[in-house]
Chain A
Amino acid sequence: METKAHIEEHHVGYTTYILVWLALIVLTGITVWVSYLHFGVFNIVVALLIASIKASLVALYFMHLKFEDKTTWIFVLYPIVLLALLIGLTAVDVFFRTAP
C-alpha cells in the first residue's frame, strides 16, 4: 500500500518559488519594453511568446505541473489542442470565405 504517498509528494522549496516570481517580474518588464519597439507583425508573436513562457512557469512551478503524472498532463494538453482548433478553424472559416 502507498502508505507514504502523500508525504513523498514532491515539495517545491521556497527559494524556487521566489526565483520563479523574479523571472515573471523580469519577463513582464521585457514585454512592456518590447511593445515600444517596432517589429511589425512580429510584435504580437514576441508578446505571445513571452506570455507563453510566463504561463509555462506559472503552470510548471506554481501549479506543480512539473511533478504531476501523465494523466494530469493529458488533462492539460487536450484543452490546449481544442483551443487551437477553435481559433484555427474559426480563422480558416472567416478568412477563406468568398463573397456571395
Chain B
Amino acid sequence: MEEIGIDVHAHHHVDPVVEYKASKLGMWLFLATELLLFGGLFAAYAIFRAKYPEMFHEEHKELDRTIGAINTVVLICSSLTMALGVASIQRGKKKLLSLFLLLTILFGIVFGINKYFEYGHKFEHHIYPSTSIFFALYFMMTGLHMLHVLAGVLVLTALLILSLKGKFSENYYTPIELGGLYWHLVDLIWIYLFPLLYLIS
C-alpha cells in the first residue's frame, strides 16, 4: 500500500511539474537555435547594407509599406489571441482556448495570403531573388519566415483539434504553452524584418 501511495503521488504531483518545466526549457533551447538560424541572414543583411547603402535605399522602394505594416499588425494581433488562449486554459476555459486558437490560425492564414499577393506582385514586375543582393536577402528572410508561419499554423491546427477533443485543462496545457512560445517567436522575428526591409529611409 505504501509503495502504491508513493507511485500515485509521483505521477500526479512530482512528475507533471518537472515535466512541464523541462518541456518549456527544451522549447527555449529550440527557439535559441531558431534565432541563430535567422542570425546568419541578419549578419549577411548587416554586412551588405553597410557595403551598399544606396542599393538598399533604392530597391526597398519596390516594397509595399502598407502591406508590410498590415502584416505586422496581423501578426501582433495573432500573438495577442495566442497569449489569451494560454490565459484561458490556465483558468480552465476550454471553449475559449479553442476560439482563441482558431483566431490565431486565421490571422496566420491572412498573413500568408498577403504574402502570396506580395510575392506575386514582385514576380509580375520581374523582381526575383536573382535581381539583386537586396532582393536575394528579402526573399530569403521573408521566405524562411513564411515557412515558420506555415509550420506554426500546422502546429496550432493540431493543437486546435486536440483542444476540441478536450485534451487540455487548467492542470495540463504544456503543448499549448509550447506552441504559443513558437508562435510568439515567429512574431518576434517579423518585428525586426519589417523595419529592416520595408522602412529603410
Contacts and interface: CB of A to CB of B under 8 A. Distances in A.
A79 B35 contact: yes
B201 A62 contact: no
A21 B47 contact: no
- Looking at chain B's contact residues, is the secondary structure mostly helix, strand, loop, or mixed? helix
B157 interface: no
A38 B199 CA distance: 12
Interface in A28-86: 28, 31-32, 35-38, 43-44, 47-48, 50-51, 54-55, 58-59, 61-63, 68, 71-72, 75-76, 78-80, 82-83, 86
A87 B32 contact: no
A76 B187 CA distance: 16
B164 interface: no
Contacts, number: 134
The contact size tier of chain B is 35 or more
Contact of B195 (A21, A35, A36, A76): A35
B201 A54 contact: no
B8 interface: no
Nearest to B32: A79
A2 B79 contact: no
Contacts of B196: 47, 51
The 3 closest A-B pairs by CB, nearest first: A35-B199, A79-B32, A47-B195
25 contacts: A6-B20, A9-B90, A11-B87, A14-B87, A17-B80, A21-B79, A24-B76, A25-B73, A31-B199, A47-B196, A51-B192, A51-B195, A55-B188, A55-B191, A55-B192, A58-B184, A58-B188, A62-B83, A76-B32, A79-B32, A82-B36, A87-B43, A87-B46, A94-B50, A95-B50
